[in-house]
Chain A
Amino acid sequence: MIKRSADTSNYSRRDALRMVAFGGAAAFITPNLLGEPAFARSSAAKPSGRVIVGLGQEPTVFNPLMAHIEVDDGVHFSVFDALFRIDPQGAIQPNLAVEVPDQKNGGISQDGLQWRIRLRDDVRWHDGRPFGAEDVKFTLELITNPDFRAWRTAGHALVRDITVISPTEISWRMEEAFAPYLSFLTETFIVPKHILGAEANPNNAAFNQAPVGTGPFKWGQRVAGDHLELVANPDYFGEGPHIERLVFKYIPDLTVLYTQFKSGDIDLVGQPYITPDHYGEAKTLPNRVVTLVPRTSFESFYLNLERPQFKELAVREALYAAIDKEAIIQGLYYGVPAPTETFMPRQSFFFNANLPLHQFDLNRARKILDQAGWAPGGDGIRTKNGVRLSFTNSTTSGDPLREQVQQYLQQTFAQLGVEMKISNLPAAVMWGEFWGQSKFDSVIVGSTYLIGADPDVTNRLHSRSIAAKGGRGSNNAQYANPEVDALLDKGARTFDPEARRAIYARVQELVRRDLPFLPLYQSNAVEGLKKGINGFVPNGNTRTESWNALAWYWAS
């Protein structure tokens, strides 16, 4: 049914749908679905060669269960395995598990509460010890250990009664039905019980500096502040790895990152990729392959809906109409990103393509404000009921392109009688309580809503998730719409992809109407690699370019 190929463009959306729907069906059970490069090389070949991936941030957290950021993912994907992986089409594939459980194959009970996972029996840790169900149990329990500085606990906190049935089989009960958990598990890497379990304090274990996994690459060495090196695991259970050494090089300056790609010092540009202003030149470089890869993150003009200026929909609509997206995308971003109307990435199965399209129209914006009763005051700034249409906008300082967007919008808004003041903050200040507790007026932010390819966005849009009002999530716009709440609750309990598709299409429609944020564009990564690296497949459903480094090889 499926001819495996690394060439992603062969897949239609229907294929993707089938994979989501039947993900893990017997036809898929192949040991190396993800491990095989296009026109697979003979697996007998000894790993050879080295790939240097340039990164703009430094990977520093190597225990995959501990709180970490995007850039650490590349290491985790290479050193560890999860129960499942997500492929570029958004389908979930088995990794340490032999099949993806669902309600049809009985892996998940009809009520969604009982889960049963069968595991591979041919997996060994890098130190030679066999992998088994006990390791999975240990991993899931460690995450919810109150003393452990775990990363995400959502989903995991619902797991009860973990039972090891045999070394290759494990089951648990969920406190409530939670469909997104399968996606969560694609980013939950399994750690060895025999090493971490013996540690008195897993937070400071030596393991965290020299991890031992089951993945295609073993830990090599790290030169802090500069680079780290992984070496091939010849005993990997899947096919690959084909390269002998995988190096992650930290280059904090994005211009230098690009320059080093140009000069050939690095083989592949990882996060945050080539800056859009270098895209035009990069395309013309000899012996380099430069492509635009859709990412899941989207850029938006976030509004704090509890501010009196933004409470009224008319204001949000007027501001949206006053944004010249075309000028921003073509002029400032060199046509790299794609305009969007929603938080859902356009490559997603759940993307709603029928949302009303934005049009830049200053006159319409003026009219909307006039009709809503926002009249220009003495200083030219519109006012209504004593509220001046003036606000600050913040973003992370040190991002030149975003700062240009700000200054450009500042000028257009001024023509509308809207005052926008710019107050940028360093990242460590910006994304703390200023963002988390909604202390901003407005923010320009690039954010990812999805975990894996799951459409659940409760954390961002459910009224229960407003941290500023005591909620537990990250609904920083303080958006509250009862219909959206109900849909999100329903969507999280629903396992059937088609049914979920309808639910989240409606959510996107409502959010587009209410505009808790003004969607600007969906990001495209300008991915660059040397000609000669084969097997590289971008995957917008993961946060890293190195999710399948096991498949990379140099053309000889």
Chain B
Amino acid sequence: MTVIAAPATPTRWWHSRAVSRFTRHHLALVGIAMISLLVLACVLGPYTLPYDTLQIDLRARFAPPLSGQHYLGTDPLGRDLAARLLMAGRISLLVGFSAMLLSTLIGTLVGVTAGYRGGWVGVALMRTVDGFLSYPSIFLVLALAATLRPSPVMITVIIAVTSWMETARIVEAEVRSLREREFVQAARMVGLSGKHIMFREILPNAMGPIIVAASLAVARAILLEAYISFLGYGIQPPLPSWGNMLNGAQQYLASAPWLAIIPGAAITIAVTSFNFIGDGLRDALDVRDDHI
């Protein structure tokens, strides 16, 4: 996974040790296996199934799983649930990943700047972080989603904008402690620019916690997308997402329970995988528990 390949840093000596520790972490491996399978299925699956995600067939409504060609049954419009599930997976996973990338980027930038510069810039930035944190994120996400037109891109941005603060805090703390270390002092003596020191010298050494936070951020983003889509403020039909597939499912809980069970199981599997991976990374990269 990219997560492991990422630290192309001067400190290669811990690189291999981390990898070997990670590979000894059974849960993390299970997570990697599950998520790889899921991604593979979502990418390739729709091509192998005989049904289109949008193909409506009113005669085949509410077919239960394993009926004929519909392996997972059909939805209220007679669309193949398996095809929709995999297509929804693409969207949910993509939203999750992109939101993670964006929030990690924002969080890292803010964290590094605040931690390195310190002073009033640091205070202002960290108070802003506090400000964002004092909104319960689901409130802010819902208010934003109700305000803006909920396209997948917009949902990604909304999730990122409301979840970068954790990363910022972690990075800031890390950078603040690294700032006074010898190699940074040395770099300063040599006269390297602030930007260079921040991103070339300090950042690579703070990569561990960032990576761990990022892996957990994917899990969070997928869950958050599911929550807001379930409440009807997220990804809009006919585009399927795991969350919005569940949105109408409560209505059919008695008559067609698979409509609720299957997408929820997919979410759980994906999120669990990322949490497992995150746990493995935390052990492998020796990141202390109390940060995250």
Contacts and interface: CB of A to CB of B under 8 A. Distances in A.
Say whether chain A's binding surface is mostly helix, strand, loop, or mixed: helix
Interface stretch (B15-23, B130-138, B210-218, B248-256): B248-256
Interface string A406-433: 1110110000000000111010110000
Contact of A422 (B56, B58, B236, B253): B236
A403 interface: yes
A331 B61 contact: yes
Contact of A410 (B76, B238, B254, B255): B238
A423 B151 CA distance: 9
A400 interface: yes
Interface in A67-119: none
Interface string A435-476: 000000000000000000000000000000000000000000
B251 A275 contact: yes
A38 interface: no
Interface string B45-77: 000000000111010010000000000000011
Contacts of B233: 397, 426
B26 interface: no
Interface string B253-271: 1110000000000000000
B115 interface: no
A255 to B, nearest CB: 5
Q: How many of chain B's residues touch chain A, expressed as a range?
A: 20 to 34
Nearest to A401: B76
Contact of A404 (B54, B76, B254): B76
A331 B250 contact: no
A254 interface: yes
B260 to A, nearest CB: 11
B147 to A, nearest CB: 9
A496 interface: no
A277 interface: yes
B251 A255 contact: yes
A429 B76 CA distance: 27
Interface in B66-117: 76-77
Nearest to B77: A404
A422 B77 CA distance: 16
B10 interface: no
Interface in A174-223: none
Contact of A397 (B61, B232, B250, B252): B232
A426 B54 contact: no
B195 interface: no
B149 interface: yes
Given A407-B56, A408-B77, A424 B236 contact: yes
A330 to B, nearest CB: 9
Nearest to B236: A424
A398 B232 CA distance: 6
Interface of B: 54-56, 58, 61, 76-77, 146, 149, 232-233, 236-238, 247-248, 250-255
21 contacts: A253-B250, A254-B251, A275-B251, A277-B252, A331-B58, A332-B77, A398-B232, A398-B247, A400-B251, A403-B237, A404-B77, A407-B77, A407-B237, A411-B56, A422-B236, A423-B149, A424-B236, A426-B232, A426-B233, A428-B146, A429-B146
Interface of A: 253-255, 259, 275, 277, 281, 327, 331-332, 397-398, 400, 403-404, 406-408, 410-411, 422-424, 426, 428-429
**Top 3 A-B pairs ranked by shortest CB distance?**
A400-B248, A398-B232, A331-B58
